[in-house]
């Protein structure tokens, strides 16, 4: 159904058993975030906080907490959106199925933004930053943050909504060196459209005008994180998903979404930065304090009875996991269709999304050869690492369909992570199939490298017939290391780093590499602070094993060698997945706050 506001959505959720109201006063300092985390962990409903300490405004969270709830919210428009995206992928579908195309036309009309002279609702009152629910999420956070913002900017070379950008970039509202009510922090990362807009404004010596929307129809929040096909703007998509056109107007030269709950307008001047952070981020660690653009606040507006929308991120999975699931449900094959030969791609949420990407491609280059080796999938991997936000991937594990083995093909999916790993580890040639990219750009939030936005990547490719059976028991040669070895998943063994390190493992296993890999089936040894913890859940391995590893520095192998500048090994890989001194600390809950959450939630059933 077409929601005209966030409140309309929340009332619909409540009527259908998808929302609870927290009526007692709650503290935006850690307490609200802790309640959200607890409810999310239990698969609970959306939350409406009716009494926020220090603010007259209500707040809502966990709106997109499950894929089922997100699909419920967009139950009327989701099929039409999927159909329009399919037409974008294959325009000939309009010829093949003209009746289906006609049914999508009304939805397509909603893609056109609508300039709305009636701007009074969101301009109901002018407020200050200090009037907002200033929510601090984690104990070491540098201040209060906006975590569901829709940040709007325009192209200085082509002003107007047609070439605008709507993105979800973190906003720091107070703390650090920011002058309260006059300045806020604007954090954005690599490969974001706002960076292009700021560069163009800087080149003209102009401040970048920014409008930050919070609340409004839920479709607008989804649009801000959507990886859209080339040529489709976020405002187009927001209108289609919402079932109503994106309505806007201008005030003092700033674009205003007339359906939103709050708007913060301001300007970013060339070269003006201030320290932003720390912030407990979606990788499960704090992103540390760094210099980012400071936004000079112009005006802050709120509609009557406005509701502040927020989420909480931390070690995955969190609510943003459901965002990813919804995006996959909406786009289907849209992303993979942009790269020739790519069949399927999955950024693994349990590993923090960007650190680990799994892909299935095609191998069509050399059908005349009997021996199968990765060829086309290496081209596809390079394309992945040069495409939009996919390029932020640190580990790319890629394989291809084995046309001789249809049984395996029917089961293989990047979304079945343990099975995908097993399929690749059974086939990979470690002497040939590990490809490093050193001293390159990295995701801003990844601190495994040796500096902000810097580090390394690795492509691990596999193609061909099964080469080995993977170990399901710890072989005697590994037990002899006395490092509390545990099987994590077939072929992967965790070791306590206090008892073993890269050098000692290589010295003790030298000359045994081929035997361990091919006969014993040990594909990877992972050094960690607690091997038993890592082996307890596959998600522990996915999180620590990929967020804490800088490939060029932290990957080695038994009986490793370099030949013509290509690295390889005849034995198992060794991952150093320990926390290093330069890493950001992991996010941890506050025990006193957790006790208060126990008291509050004891009154509610969900």
Q: Which domains does the chain have, with CATH numbers?
A: 6-309 (2.30.110.10), 333-462 (3.40.1670.10), 476-576 (3.40.1670)
Distances (CA, A) of 416 to 346, 359, 580: 10, 12, 30
Query: Which three-class secondary structure state does DSSP give residue 289?
Result: coil
User: What local confidence, expressed as pLDDT, does residue 192 receive?
Assistant: 65
Query: Which three-class secondary structure state does DSSP give residue 291?
Result: strand
User: What local confidence, expressed as pLDDT, does residue 336 receive?
Assistant: 64
Query: What tokens were used for 340?
Result: 């020739």
Across 420-426, average pLDDT: 97
Reading phi first (left if > 0) and then psi (alpha if -120 to 50, else beta), residue 470 is in beta
Q: How confident is the model at residue 80 (pLDDT cuts 50, 70, 90)?
A: confident
Give per-residue pLDDT as tens, 244-300.
999 999 999 999 999 999 999 999 999 899 999 999 999 999 999 999 999 999 999
User: What local confidence, expressed as pLDDT, does residue 94 receive?
Assistant: 47
More confident residue, 109 or 384: 384
User: What local confidence, expressed as pLDDT, does residue 414 receive?
Assistant: 94
Q: Are 575 and 554 spatial neighbours (Cβ–Cβ below 8 Å)?
A: yes
User: What local confidence, expressed as pLDDT, does residue 108 receive?
Assistant: 72
Across 340-367, average pLDDT: 90
Instruction: Work out whether strand 454-462 and strand 149-153 pair parallel, antiparallel, or are unpaired.
Output: unpaired
Q: Are 330 and 80 spatial neighbours (Cβ–Cβ below 8 Å)?
A: no
Q: Where are the beta strands (DSSP E) in 303-433?
A: 307-309, 344-347, 356-361, 395-400
Give per-residue pLDDT as tens, 142-192.
999 999 999 999 999 989 998 898 999 999 999 999 999 999 999 986 556
pTM of the model: 0.88
Q: Residue 9: pLDDT above 50?
A: yes
User: What local confidence, expressed as pLDDT, does residue 405 receive?
Assistant: 47
Query: In whole angstroms, what is the distance from residue 413 CA to residue 418 CA?
Result: 10
Give per-residue pLDDT as tens, 288-333.
999 999 999 999 999 999 999 999 999 999 998 888 888 878 876 6
Give per-residue pLDDT as tens, 565-601.
999 999 999 999 999 999 999 999 999 999 999 999 9
User: What local confidence, expressed as pLDDT, does residue 375 receive?
Assistant: 92
Q: Residue 17: pLDDT above 70?
A: yes
Which run of H or of E encompasses 222?
helix 218-225
| Closest residue by Cα to residue 491 from 461, 458, 517, 465 | 517
Supply the DSSP string of 72-112, one letter for each residue.
Answer: HHTTTTHHHHHHHHHHHH-TTHHHH-HHHHHHHHHHHHTTS
Give per-residue pLDDT as tens, 215-247.
999 999 999 988 775 556 888 889 989 999 999
Please state, as a whole number, how many other Cβ atoms lie within 10 Å of the Cβ of residue 287. 23
Q: How confident is the model at residue 13 (pLDDT cuts 50, 70, 90)?
A: very high
Q: Residue 483: pLDDT above 70?
A: yes
Query: What tokens were used for 555?
Result: 């990957």
Please state, as a whole number, how many other Cβ atoms lie within 10 Å of the Cβ of residue 103. 12
Give per-residue pLDDT as tens, 434-449.
999 999 988 888 888 8
Q: Please name every residue paired with 125 in a beta bridge, in sequence order, or none if there are none.
A: 302
Query: In whole angstroms, what is the distance from residue 83 CA to residue 100 CA?
Result: 8
What angle, rounded to 10 degrees, do the helices at 218-225 and 319-331 form? 80
Query: What tokens were used for 269?
Result: 């001047």
Q: Which residues contact 41 (CB under 8 A, 6 or more apart)?
A: none
User: What local confidence, expressed as pLDDT, does residue 52 receive?
Assistant: 98
Question: What is the rounded average pLDDT for all residues in the chain?
Answer: 90
What's the farthest any 2 CA atoms get from each other in the chain? 77
Query: In whole angstroms, what is the distance from residue 200 CA to residue 253 CA?
Result: 18
Q: Exposure pattern of 400-417 as b/e (b: 16+ CB <10 Å)?
A: bbbeeeeebeeebebeeb
User: What local confidence, expressed as pLDDT, does residue 78 receive?
Assistant: 86
Query: Which three-class secondary structure state does DSSP give residue 278?
Result: coil
Query: In whole angstroms, what is the distance from residue 520 CA to residue 98 CA?
Result: 58
Across 3-7, average pLDDT: 94
Range with the lowest mean pLDDT among 169-173, 191-195, 356-360, 391-395? 191-195
Q: Residue 406: pLDDT above 50?
A: no
Q: Are 51 and 27 spatial neighbours (Cβ–Cβ below 8 Å)?
A: no
Query: In whole angstroms, what is the distance from residue 496 CA to residue 498 CA?
Result: 5
> What letter would DSSP give residue 244?
S
Which run of H or of E encompasses 319?
helix 319-331
Q: Please name every residue paired with 150 in a beta bridge, in sequence order, or none if there are none.
A: 213
User: What local confidence, expressed as pLDDT, does residue 408 receive?
Assistant: 47
| Closest residue by Cα to residue 29 from 140, 127, 129 | 140
């Amino acid at each position: 159904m077409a929601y005209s506001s966030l409140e309309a959505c929340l009332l619909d959720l409540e009527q259908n058993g998808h929302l609870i109201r927290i009526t007692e006063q709650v503290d935006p300092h850690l307490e609200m975030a802790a309640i959200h985390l607890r409810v999310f962990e239990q698969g609970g409903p959306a939350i409406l906080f009716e009494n926020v300490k220090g603010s007259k405004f209500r707040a809502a969270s966990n709106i997109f907490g499950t894929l089922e709830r997100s699909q419920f919210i967009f139950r009327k428009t989701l099929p039409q959106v999927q159909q329009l995206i399919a037409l974008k992928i294959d325009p000939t579908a309009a010829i093949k199925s003209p009746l289906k195309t006609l049914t999508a036309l009304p939805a397509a009309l909603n893609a056109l933004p609508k300039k709305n002279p009636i701007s009074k609702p969101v301009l109901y009152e002018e407020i200050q930053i200090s009037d907002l629910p200033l929510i601090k999420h984690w104990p070491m956070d540098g201040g209060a943050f906006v975590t569901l913002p829709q940040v709007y900017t325009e192209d200085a070379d082509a002003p107007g909504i047609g070439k605008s950008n709507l993105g979800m970039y973190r906003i720091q509202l107070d703390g650090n060196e920011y002058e309260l009510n006059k300045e806020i922090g604007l954090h954005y990362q690599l490969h974001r459209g706002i960076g292009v807009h700021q560069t163009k404004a800087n080149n003209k010596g102009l401040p970048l005008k920014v409008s930050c929307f919070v609340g409004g129809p839920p479709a607008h929040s989804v649009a801000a994180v959507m990886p859209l096909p080339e040529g489709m703007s976020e405002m187009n998509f927001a209108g289609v998903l919402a079932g109503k056109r994106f309505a806007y107007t201008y005030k003092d030269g700033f674009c205003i979404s007339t359906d939103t709950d709050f708007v913060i307008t301001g300007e970013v001047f060339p070269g003006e930065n201030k320290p932003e952070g720390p912030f407990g981020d979606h990788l499960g660690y704090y992103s540390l304090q760094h210099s980012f653009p400071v936004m000079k606040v112009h005006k802050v507006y709120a509609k009557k009875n406005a509701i502040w929308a927020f989420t909480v991120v931390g070690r995955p999975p969190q609510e943003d996991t459901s965002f990813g699931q919804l995006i996959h449900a909406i786009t289907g094959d849209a992303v993979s269709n942009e790269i020739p030969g790519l069949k399927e791609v999955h950024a693994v949420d349990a590993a923090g999304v960007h650190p680990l990407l799994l892909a299935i491609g095609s191998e069509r280059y050399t059908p005349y050869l009997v021996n199968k080796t990765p060829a086309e999938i290496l081209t596809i991997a390079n394309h992945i690492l040069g495409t939009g936000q996919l390029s932020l991937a640190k580990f790319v594990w890629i394989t291809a369909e084995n046309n001789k083995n249809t049984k395996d093909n029917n089961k293989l999916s990047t979304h079945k992570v343990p099975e995908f790993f097993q399929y690749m580890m059974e086939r990979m040639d470690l002497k040939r199939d590990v490809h490093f990219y050193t001293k390159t750009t990295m995701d801003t939030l990844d601190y495994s490298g040796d500096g902000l936005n810097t580090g390394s990547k690795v492509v691990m490719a596999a193609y061909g017939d099964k080469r080995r059976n993977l170990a399901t028991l710890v072989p005697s040669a590994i037990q002899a290391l006395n490092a509390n070895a545990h099987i994590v998943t077939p072929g992967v063994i965790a070791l306590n780093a206090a008892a073993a390190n890269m050098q000692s493992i290589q010295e003790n296993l030298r000359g045994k590499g081929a035997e361990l890999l091919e006969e014993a089936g040990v594909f990877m040894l992972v050094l960690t602070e607690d091997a038993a913890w890592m082996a307890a859940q596959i998600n522990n391995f996915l999180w620590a094993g990929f967020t804490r590893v800088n490939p060029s520095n932290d990957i080695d192998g038994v009986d490793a060698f370099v030949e013509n500048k290509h690295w390889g090994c005849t034995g198992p890989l060794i991952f150093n997945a320990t926390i290093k001194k330069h890493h950001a600390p992991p996010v941890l809950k506050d025990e006193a706050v957790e006790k208060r959450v126990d008291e509050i939630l004891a009154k509610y059933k969900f």
